[in-house]
Amino acid sequence: MGRAFEYRKAAKLKRWGAMSRIFPKLGRVITMAAKEGGPDPEMNPKLRTAILNAKAQNMPKDNIEAAIKRASGKDVADIKEIAYEAKGPHGTLMYIETATDNGTRTVANIRAILVRNGGELLTSGSLDFMFDRKSVFEFDKKEDADLEELELELIDYGLEELEEDKIPQETGEDKEIVRVYGEYASFGELSKALEDHGIEITKAALQRIPSVPLELDEEQMDEVSELIDKLEDDEDVQAVYTNLA
């Protein structure tokens, strides 16, 4: 989604963390993963990833353990993952991923946010050919890392692309990272291969990558960014993916 959106996202998550608003979202993902594949992260790649991402946002260990335990409770809500497709201002396209125990409430909230900000919901399947679902991993770049050798070794585990990037920090300095893209179905294999190489993954997700990225000017970007912020503020929304460059 571009460096501008990476920085905006980092600032957004920091605000959420300070208010502890992101923790319920992360906890919901952990609970769903534990309910679906069991409470042992070693045997449940989806849960292991959810815990990894929660730790990256400084979610306390007690909160993580509580979220795992909730999965075995009799009164745990029937939470479902639902993705909505939408069109925003200036030709932006959006996948809005949610985790909800009330789809009627969630779709009503999302529709209202879109309408108030120049967007609209699309029919399910409208964006099938506009986005590719990819396994994406990030980790900090080490000075002595042999990325060419790593790239060759990971091809057998579904690697499609390995790139270096710099993420802006609030200190004014950029952090050097490595981003790995792989096939959707290879998430588990790639995750384990990276771990076997002693790499500490800082971010892991199944992301939706636009096939034709869209570039906007600064004013248009601000308008779209405001819409994304409002969508992300909804308690049921887990992630918003766009076709922005």
How far apart are alpha carbons 80 and 102 in whole angstroms? 9
What share of the chain has pLDDT > 70, as a percent? 90
Quick one: pLDDT at residue 55? 85
Q: Quick: pLDDT tens for 8-39.
A: 555 555 554 444 568 888 898 999 999 989 99
**Close Cβ partners of 225 (under 8 Å, ≥ 6 residues apart):** 5, 8
**Alpha carbon separation from 204 to 45, 108, 180, 207 (Å, rounded):** 11, 30, 9, 9
pLDDT in tens, the chain (245 residues): 444 555 455 555 555 444 456 888 889 899 999 998 999 998 888 898 889 888 877 888 999 999 999 888 766 678 888 999 999 999 999 999 999 989 999 999 999 999 999 999 999 999 999 999 999 999 999 888 899 999 999 999 999 999 999 888 777 788 899 999 999 999 989 988 998 999 989 888 889 999 999 999 999 999 999 999 999 999 999 999 999 98
Model pTM score: 0.81
CA angle at residue 143 from 140 to 150, to 5 degrees?
70
Residues 6+ apart with CB under 8 A from 231: 94, 96, 110, 113, 114, 237, 240
Number of residues that make up the chain: 245
* Whether 209 contacts 134, CB under 8 Å: yes
SS3 state at 54 = helix
Q: What is the pLDDT of residues 58-87, one digit of tens each?
A: 888 999 999 999 888 766 678 888 999 999
